[in-house]
Structure 1
């Protein structure tokens, strides 16, 4: 809920910005607000992912993909995320969220996103997202039918496959019991 109003504003503003292909890069300029910071007076580490949602919305709206997804009853969900920090974003600082799709596989669409100030990367994240409908996960074939074919040469880096394989939890229909290795109560 903390970004609901800002998300709605981005959806409206992005619809008026120049159109993009879903395979293009999006650049969204924002400013650090008081609701984005923690007690250390910089953007809270957990807030970066929430702010990056806005960058993905910008790309989806500007490419027309958001409207297609809504019409088909598809919703995006994060399946995995990893982030690295270089510098802190401070209160009132202006920054851009750079967003691009770096590829897809049979289960997910992969985004690279960067928080950039003055041409310098402050944080970089990789997000694996899935599209789901009431009937379940949306197939790669359905996604490509709506998104169009990716540009020639768009191929996921090998480390992305390793990352997903090594960090993924079992699917929601399989058990995922909690037990710490070597844990004593």
Structure 2
């Protein structure tokens, strides 16, 4: 709820920004607000992921994919994510969220996202995403068939370590049991 107003404003602004290919790089300028910081007065570690949501939304809106997804009742969800932090963002500091699709596999579309300030990477994350509908997961074939999606670039190749990461951290699917035992 804390990012609802910011998300609505971003969607409005992104719809009026220059168009991008879904395979392009989105650069979303931002400023650290009081709602982004914790008791140490820097961006809370969990807030980075919430802010990165906005970067992915910006890319999808500017590529025209957001409207096509919503028209079909598709909703984006995060399947897995990992992040590394290098420096802390401070209250009122300006930064950008850089977002780019770096590959896909049979189940997910992968983003690399960077928090950049003063020309330096402060944090970098890799996010495996899916689209879901009321009927269940949307296949990548359905997504890539959207008229708003340009053909997949020939040089788009998911790094092998991301395949291994996804396999190593995977939980059973939602329709399979996943008993809690330590």
Task: Quote the Cα distance in structure 2 between the aligned partners of 1:171 and 1:153.
Answer: 30
In the TM superposition, structure 1's runs of 4+ consecutive aligned residues that sit over 3 Å from their partners are none
Per the alignment, residue 30 of structure 1 pairs with 30
TM-score, structure 2 length as denominator?
Answer: 0.98
Q: 1:162 aligns with which of 157, 161, 164?
A: 164
Per the alignment, residue 83 of structure 1 pairs with 83
What 5-or-longer segments of structure 2 have no aligned partner? none
Per the alignment, residue 19 of structure 1 pairs with 19
Q: CA deviation at 1:118?
A: 1.2
Q: Structure 1 stretch 146-155 or stretch 80-89: which is displaced more? A: 146-155
Once the two structures are superposed, residues 135-171 of structure 1 have per-residue CA deviations (whole angstroms, 9 ceiling, x without a partner) of 1111111011012321111010000100000011110
Once the two structures are superposed, residues 47-105 of structure 1 have per-residue CA deviations (whole angstroms, 9 ceiling, x without a partner) of 00000000001000000000010111110000000000000000000000000000111
Q: CA deviation at 1:176?
A: 0.8
Per the alignment, residue 111 of structure 1 pairs with 111
Once the two structures are superposed, residues 2-44 of structure 1 have per-residue CA deviations (whole angstroms, 9 ceiling, x without a partner) of 1000000000000000000000000000000000000011000
- Aligned-partner SS, 1:46: helix
Per the alignment, residue 40 of structure 2 pairs with 40
TM-score, structure 1 length as denominator?
Answer: 0.96
Task: Quote the Cα distance in structure 1 between the aligned partners of 2:152 and 2:40.
Answer: 42
> What's the RMSD between the two structures over aligned residues?
0.6
Q: How does 1:31-180 map to 2 (within 5 A)?
A: 31-146=31-146, 147-180=149-182
- Aligned-partner SS, 2:45: coil
Per the alignment, residue 3 of structure 2 pairs with 3
Aligned length: 180
Task: Quote the Cα distance in structure 2 between the aligned partners of 1:150 and 1:91.
Answer: 39
Q: Is the 2:21–2:150 Cα contact (8 Å) retained in structure 1?
A: no
